[in-house]
């Protein structure tokens, strides 16, 4: 591990919920080192996903700062944030959200197409990524022809498409049975061993235990690391 890749300082995130003001994050300060594998755990509603959204540049803090790879991302314009995410962040969600009309290969190639990678390069890289996640023989299958575990592995391959600095996952095993979840845990472990920095939000004890570091949250605060 060398250097800090994620740095949050006194990050707060407040929401308006009807007439009420919800304090989802109450001043979180946190650092994640390059090559680390961090699991954020805590009860529902404690602010785990909000924290992940700030790190993933899909949300902005009400106050405080967020830096990714030394770059302030907390006040980026929508266009800048979109481009930053495309090139630096890989996302995996609880629901797989693959494009139903595209094949596994096309789904993986999608972010590369957006990044204007040449057609042949992206086809070959998407095939390699599918091979890496163990779906080399399922490239032409549509999401509806794949099991839940396979769809999540396609989603992981898609998240890795543009060689992100950071892989973020929000409950990636939440919709999978125990044995399929174990395969995803093992895949995350392998990815981290191969150098990918991973931050995962989970309720899954097995997934959290596989991480190098656990961050415990409660009521919008980090209570233990």
* Residue 110 near another protein by CB under 8 A: yes
DSSP 8-19: EEEEEEEEEETT
- The Cα 8–Cα 132 span in angstroms is 32
Where does 72-147 have alpha helices with state H? Answer: 78-88, 104-114, 119-132
- Span near another protein by CB under 8 A; candidates 68-76, 86-94, 116-124, 212-220: 86-94
Nearer to another protein, 53 or 202 (CB): 53
Name which position in 14, 31, 67, 114 contacts another protein (CB under 8 A).
114
Q: How far is the CB of 166 from another protein (least distance, A)?
A: 13
* Residue 117 near another protein by CB under 8 A: no
Q: How far is the CB of 59 from another protein (least distance, A)?
A: 4
Cβ-based burial of 157 (10 A; exposed 0-12, middle 13-18, buried ≥19): buried
Q: Which of 1, 45, 48 is nearest to 28 (CA)?
A: 48
Q: Which of 45, 7, 46 is nearest to 221 (CA)?
A: 46
Name which position in 31, 97, 141, 148 contacts another protein (CB under 8 A).
97
Q: Which residues bind another protein (CB under 8 A)?
A: 49-50, 53, 56, 58-59, 78-79, 82-83, 85-87, 89-91, 93-95, 97, 99, 110-111, 114-115, 158-159, 162, 170
């Amino acid at each position: 591990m060398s250097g800090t890749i994620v740095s949050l300082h006194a990050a707060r995130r407040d929401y308006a919920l009807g007439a009420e003001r919800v304090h989802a994050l109450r001043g979180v300060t946190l650092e994640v080192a390059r090559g680390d594998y961090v699991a954020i755990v805590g009860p529902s509603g404690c602010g785990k996903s909000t924290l992940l959204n700030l790190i993933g540049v899909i949300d902005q803090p009400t106050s405080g700062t967020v830096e990714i790879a030394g770059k302030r991302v907390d006040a980026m314009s929508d266009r800048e944030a979109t481009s930053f995410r495309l090139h630096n962040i890989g996302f995996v969600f609880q629901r797989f959200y693959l494009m139903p009309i595209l094949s596994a290969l096309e789904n993986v190639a999608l972010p590369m197409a957006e990044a204007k990678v040449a057609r042949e390069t992206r086809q070959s890289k998407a095939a390699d990524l599918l091979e890496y996640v163990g779906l080399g023989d399922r490239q032409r299958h549509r999401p509806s022809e794949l099991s839940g575990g396979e769809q999540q592995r396609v989603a992981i391959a898609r998240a890795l498409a543009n060689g992100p600095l950071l892989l973020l996952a929000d409950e990636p095993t939440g919709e999978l049975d125990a044995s399929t979840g174990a395969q995803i845990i093992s895949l995350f472990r392998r990815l981290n061993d191969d150098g990918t920095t991973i931050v995962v939000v989970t309720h899954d004890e097995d997934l959290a235990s596989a991480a190098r570091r656990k961050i415990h949250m409660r009521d919008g605060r980090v209570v233990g690391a």
